[in-house]
Amino acid sequence: MTRLFLLLTLLIQTSQAAVKPNVVFILADDLGWADTTLYGHTKLYRTPNLERLAKRGMTFNRAYAASPLCSPTRSSILTGLHPARTGITEPNCHEPQVVLTATPGTSGPAGKKSVAPNPPTRLNTTWPTMSKAFKAAGYATGHFGKWHLGPEPYSPLQQGFDVDVPHYAGPGPAGSYVAPWKFPDFDPLTPNEHIEDRMAKEAVAFLEKHKDEPFFLNYWMFSVHAPFDAKKALIEKYRGKVDPADPQHSPTYAAMVESMDDAVGTLIDTLDRLNLTDHTIIVFFSDNGGNMYNTVDGTTPTSNAPLRGGKATVYEGGVREPCVVSWPGNVKPDTRNDTVIQSIDFYPTLLEAAGLTVMPGQKFDGISILPALKGGTLTREAIFTYFPHDPGVPDWLPPSVTVTQGDWKLIRIFFGGENGQHRWKLYNLHEDESEKHDLAASDPERVKTMDALIEKFLTDTQAVQPIRNPAFDPAQYHPELEGVQNNRDKEKPKHAPAKKTAAAEQDKPDPALQGWKARQCSASVTDGVVTITGQGNAPFLGVSAAGTDGPAVMKFRTRCAGGGEGKVEWILAGKNSPPAKSVPFTLKPGEWQEIRVNIPAEGAVSIVRLYLPAQQQKVELGWVELTGKTKPKRWNF
Check which CATH number belongs to the domain holding 514 and give it.
Answer: 2.60.120.260
Domain around 196: 19-377
335-388 pLDDT per residue, tens: 999 999 999 999 999 999 999 999 888 999 999 999 999 999 998 999 999 999
Asked whether residue 66 falls in the same domain as residue 85, the answer is yes
What are the helix (H) ranges across 30-153?
48-56, 70-79, 83-86, 130-136
What CATH number is attached to the domain comprising 182?
3.40.720.10
Nearest to residue 219, comparing CAs of 263, 278, 168, 274? 263
Q: What is the mean pLDDT of residues 464-486?
A: 92
Looking at 123-127, 389-393, 507-511, 553-557, which range is the least confident one? 507-511
Confidence at residue 491, expressed as pLDDT on a 0 to 100 scale: 63
Residue 427: name the closest of 449, 403, 455, 392 by CA. Answer: 403
Distance CA 287, CA 383 (A): 16
Task: Output the pTM of the full model.
Answer: 0.78
364 and 230 together in one domain: yes
Q: What's the CA gap between 198 and 332, in Å, rounded?
A: 32
Report yes or no on 431 lying in a domain.
Answer: yes
pLDDT more than 90, % of the chain: 76
Q: Are 593 and 619 contacting, i.e. CB atoms less than 8 angstroms apart?
A: no
Inter-CA distances, 570 with 102, 148, 152, 539, 629, Å: 26, 20, 21, 15, 16
CA distance 562 to 617: 7
Give the confidence band of 575 by pLDDT, cuts at 50, 70, 90: low
Q: Which of 423, 446, 481 is the last residue of a domain?
A: 481
485-512 mean pLDDT: 54
Q: Is beta strand 400-405 parallel, antiparallel or unpaired with respect to 163-165?
A: unpaired
Look over the chain and give the mean of its residue pLDDT values, rounded to a whole number. Answer: 91
Extract the runs of DSSP E, i.e. beta strands, from 228-298: 280-286
Q: Answer yes or no: is 424 within a domain.
A: yes
Decide: 613 and 619 in contact? Cβ < 8 Å: yes
> What angle (nearest 5°) sits at the alpha carbon of residue 54, between those of residues 48 and 56?
115
Residues 371 and 395 in one domain: no
Whether 1 is covered by a domain: the verdict is no
CATH number, domain containing residue 392: 3.30.1120.10
Share of the chain above pLDDT 70, in %: 93
CA 237 vs CA 197, 252, 265, 418, 511: distances in Å: 18, 10, 20, 53, 46
Residues 23 and 147 in one domain: yes
Listing DSSP states for 285-327 in one string gives EESSPPP-SS-BTTB-S---TTS---TT-SSHHHHEEEEEEE-
Contact 269, 247 (CB under 8 A): no
Residue 391 sits in the same domain as residue 360: no
Instruction: Compute the distance between CA of residue 188 and CA of residue 277 in angstroms, rounded to an integer.
Output: 30
pLDDT at 15: 41
pLDDT tens string 15-44 = 444 689 999 999 999 999 999 999 999 999
pLDDT tens digits, residue range 402-455? Answer: 999 999 999 999 999 999 999 999 999 999 999 999 999 999 999 999 999 999
The answer to whether 160 touches 132, Cβ cutoff 8 Å, is yes
H or E element that contains 504: helix 502-505
Please write the tens of the pLDDT for every residue from 189-219: 999 999 999 999 999 999 999 999 999 999 9
What is the reported pLDDT for 606?
87
Strand duo 140-145 + 215-220: pairing: parallel
Same domain? For 543 and 456 the reply is: no
CA nearest 74: which of 173, 182, 221? 221
490: in domain: no
Q: Is the pLDDT of residue 14 over 90?
A: no
What is the pLDDT at residue 7? 45
Are residues 167 and 82 both part of a single domain? yes
Q: Tell me, what's the pLDDT at 591? A: 86
pLDDT over threshold 50, residue 6: no
Task: Please enumerate in sequence order all residues whose Cβ is within 8 A of that of 227, keeping only pairs 6 or more positions apart, or say none.
Answer: 172, 173, 175, 176, 177, 498
Residues 409 and 288 in one domain: no
Q: Look at residue 576 in the predicted model and tell me its pLDDT.
A: 67
* Three-point CA angle 302, 303, 307, nearest 5°: 150
Are 172 and 309 contained in the same domain?
yes
How many domains, in total, are found in the chain? 3
Q: What is the DSSP letter of 480?
A: G
Same domain, residue pair 90 and 216 = yes
Instruction: Please tell me which residue, 574 or 42, carries the higher pLDDT value.
Output: 42
